[in-house]
């Protein structure tokens, strides 16, 4: 018995076939090479927002960036999903750069600032609420909700990058001399630009000082 597909579901298969045909025409042998190995230099930890596709934002092909995404790009030390993906990226794939990427216009950040209930995700967004509370004086001093929203997007990316640095995965990698750098960035939906938040850590000794320096740079200090 055959059933007809929903048009919205069929669309993704039609798009996939066109994409495969286009890649085969412009990059012969691409899929054969891709199937043989995965050796990305970059690990992207970002928000699950559909408007922030990692590969497209940094213009890298499949196989060149390993990706983990969740609501509001959070990396708590209790999340085995994030930690397992991080461990695989560092220990198995040997990535050289870990990018923790927030984005302006983040719905999770807005929900926290507005104290809005969204459901089960409220428990997850409590991690962002912790970030907000740590920087509440700074956020309250900003002129208007948009400025506070943008700053919390930046602060959250910095705090989550700091969390990555303090995991046993990174601490062990640096202890054995592995070269891997953790970065904090924020992406602009309105202009498509990725912004460096001046947090670029290559060893355990510089985590605290880099975090303070990045905060000062964010504040214009």
* Residue 147 neighbours by CB distance under 10 Å: 12
How would residue 221 be classed by pLDDT, with cut points 50, 70 and 90? low
Please tell me the predicted confidence (pLDDT) of residue 33. Answer: 84
pTM of the model: 0.92
How would residue 138 be classed by pLDDT, with cut points 50, 70 and 90? very high
Which of 68, 106, 127, 151 is an active site residue?
Answer: 106
Please tell me the predicted confidence (pLDDT) of residue 195. Answer: 97
* Residue 144 neighbours by CB distance under 10 Å: 8
Flag whether pLDDT at 3 surpasses 80: no
In the residue annotation, 49 being an active-site residue is answered as yes
Average pLDDT of 87-109?
98
Residues 49, 112, 66, 218, CA torsion sign: positive
Flag whether pLDDT at 115 surpasses 80: yes
DSSP assignment, residue 217? Answer: H
In the residue annotation, 47 being an active-site residue is answered as yes
Average pLDDT, the chain: 95
51-97: per-residue pLDDT in tens? 999 999 999 988 999 999 999 999 999 999 999 999 999 999 999 99
Average pLDDT of 21-38?
88
How would residue 9 be classed by pLDDT, with cut points 50, 70 and 90? confident
In 3D space, the residue among 143, 76, 140 whose CA is nearest the CA of residue 113 turns out to be 140
Which of 49, 68, 148, 149 is an active site residue?
Answer: 49
In the residue annotation, 195 being an active-site residue is answered as no
Flag whether pLDDT at 2 surpasses 60: no
In the residue annotation, 165 being an active-site residue is answered as no
Please give the full DSSP string across 149-177, using - where no structure is assigned. HHHHHHHHHHHHHHHHHTSHHHHHHHHTT
Average pLDDT of 169-175?
98
CA 28 to each of CA 17, 40, 89, 109: distance values in angstroms, whole numbers, following the listed order: 15, 20, 28, 43
What the block records as the tokens of 185 is 């960035």
Which of 5, 18, 27, 51 is an active site residue?
Answer: 51
Average pLDDT of 159-185?
98
Average pLDDT of 40-57?
96
How would residue 36 be classed by pLDDT, with cut points 50, 70 and 90? confident
Flag whether pLDDT at 205 surpasses 60: yes
Which of 103, 127, 135, 148 is an active site residue?
Answer: 103
121-135: per-residue pLDDT in tens? 999 999 999 999 999
């Amino acid at each position: 018995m055959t059933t007809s597909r929903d048009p919205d579901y069929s669309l993704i298969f039609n798009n996939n076939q066109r994409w495969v045909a286009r890649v085969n025409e412009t990059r012969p042998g691409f899929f054969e090479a891709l199937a043989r190995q995965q050796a990305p230099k970059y690990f992207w930890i970002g928000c699950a927002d559909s408007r922030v596709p990692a590969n497209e934002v940094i213009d890298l092909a499949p196989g060149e960036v390993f990706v983990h995404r969740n609501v509001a790009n959070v990396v708590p030390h209790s999340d085995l999903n994030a930690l397992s993906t991080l461990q695989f990226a560092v220990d198995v794939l040997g990535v050289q750069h870990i990018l923790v990427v927030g984005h302006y216009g983040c719905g999770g950040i807005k929900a926290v600032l507005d104290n809005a209930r969204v459901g089960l995700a409220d428990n997850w967004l409590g991690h962002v609420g912790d970030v907000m509370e740590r920087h509440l004086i700074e956020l309250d001093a900003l002129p208007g909700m948009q400025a506070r929203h943008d700053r919390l997007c930046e602060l959250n990316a910095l705090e989550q990058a700091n969390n990555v640095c303090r995991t046993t995965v990174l601490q062990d990698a640096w202890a054995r001399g592995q070269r891997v750098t953790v970065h904090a960035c924020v992406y602009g939906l309105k202009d498509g630009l990725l912004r460096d938040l001046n947090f670029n850590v290559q060893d355990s000794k510089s985590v605290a000082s880099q975090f303070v320096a990045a905060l000062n740079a964010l504040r214009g200090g």
